[in-house]
Amino acid sequence: MKATAGSLRAILFGDNPKAFAHVAELDGRVVGIAVWFFNFSTWTGRHGIYLEDLFVDPEARGRGVARLLFGALAAEARANDCARIDWAVLDWNELGKGLYRRLGARHNADWEPWRLDGAALDALTRGSD
């Protein structure tokens, strides 16, 4: 992990936040987080929300924490006239997939996740191929 408390503080709570977070608490203890940012779709002509991270403490799972966090995201989406909420899930995370199906989400089989990072990103920045 390369994120630090300082870098997260700047991104989430600085003068010009680039990402946002919701937290869930039980008995005064943080047991879940949803970190997200706005994206944009030329297809819909509207913003959307991209859920980057959703985590619920294993001891709090099964208590509706993830559903509440998704509810908060849905409220953000509606308040900001967003067309949708998108996220990725690891292919082995059957527990997560089950939750998402119960929420009414669907697997978007038409799109494959792709990533450009590390040395390839550096090379592209320099104009190399």
Which residues make Cβ contacts (< 8 Å) with residue 47, sequence separation at least 6?
38, 39, 40, 41, 80, 81, 82, 83
Active site residue 100: yes
Q: Which of 32, 100, 113, 129 is catalytic?
A: 100
State the distance between the two ends of the chain, measured CA to CA, in whole angstroms: 28
Tell me which H or E stretch contains 88: none
Active site residues: 100
